[in-house]
């Protein structure tokens, strides 16, 4: 875990909503999303294991996490540029947050604000939901174990 993931810290959901709102068409928005993915730290090859792989994604997606000071920090990666960008969008909502805040966050409202899901292929949309489900499962598991 590098700890250098800027999403959820210096790149917030509000930043992404605001920036995507500046673009007039989805071609520009896709370029921005791909650029977001370039800001994710590179995941160590040793973390790209079967156990960290997300089922249901068209591309390969890995999610690892650590709890530090009660906060969940994620290390994520994908073999597809657009999916790395989608991971950045998701990380802006979840990275560096308390498990209870991850569970409470209305991700569907956030995606609606971005007008995102209807502009993804059905398989990409399913993959996005699979990423969110894994992250929520991690947070819910941590909440139960700390109760």
pLDDT tens, position by position, 56-93:
778 999 999 999 999 999 999 999 999 999 999 999 99
Q: For residue 33, give its domain range.
A: 13-146
pTM here is 0.94
- For this structure, is 125 an active site residue? no
Inform me whether the pLDDT recorded for 147 exceeds 90: no
Cα–Cα distance measured from residue 74 to residue 104, given in angstroms and rounded to the nearest whole number: 17
- 90 in any annotated domain: yes
Which regions of the chain does DSSP assign to beta strands (E)?
A: 61-68, 71-78
The residue annotated as part of the active site, out of 43, 54, 57, 116, is: 57
Question: 47 in a domain, yes or no?
Answer: yes
| pLDDT band, very low/low/confident/very high, at 55 (cuts 50, 70, 90) | confident
Q: Is residue 61 part of a domain?
A: yes
The answer to whether position 4 is within a domain reads no
CATH (domain of 52): 3.90.1010.10
Task: For residue 34, tell me if it sits in a domain.
Answer: yes
User: Collapsing DSSP states into helix, strand and coil, what is residue 121?
Assistant: coil
Is residue 3 included in any domain, yes or no?
Answer: no
Does the residue 36 lie in any domain?
yes
Task: State the DSSP H helix or E strand holding residue 61, giving kind and residue range, or none if neither.
Answer: strand 61-68
Query: What total of structural domains would you count in the chain?
Result: 1
pLDDT class of 2 with cuts at 50, 70, 90: very low
Q: Is residue 8 part of a domain?
A: no
| pLDDT tens per residue, range 100-128 | 999 999 999 999 999 998 999 999 999 99
Pairing outcome for strands 71-78 and 61-68: antiparallel
Please tell me the predicted confidence (pLDDT) of residue 146: 81
């Amino acid at each position: 875990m590098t700890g250098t993931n800027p999403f959820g810290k210096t790149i917030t959901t509000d930043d992404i909503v605001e920036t995507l709102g500046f673009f007039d068409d989805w071609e520009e928005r896709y370029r921005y999303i791909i650029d977001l993915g370039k800001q994710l730290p590179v995941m160590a090859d040793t973390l790209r294991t079967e156990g960290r792989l997300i089922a249901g994604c068209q591309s390969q997606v890995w999610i690892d996490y650590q709890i530090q000071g009660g906060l969940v920090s994620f290390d994520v990666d994908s073999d597809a540029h657009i999916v790395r960008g989608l991971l950045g969008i998701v990380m802006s909502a979840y990275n560096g947050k308390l498990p209870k805040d991850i569970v409470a966050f209305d991700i569907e409202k956030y995606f609606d604000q971005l007008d995102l899901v209807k502009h993804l292929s059905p398989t990409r949309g399913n993959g996005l939901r699979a990423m969110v489900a894994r992250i929520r499962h991690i947070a819910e598991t941590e909440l139960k174990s700390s109760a």
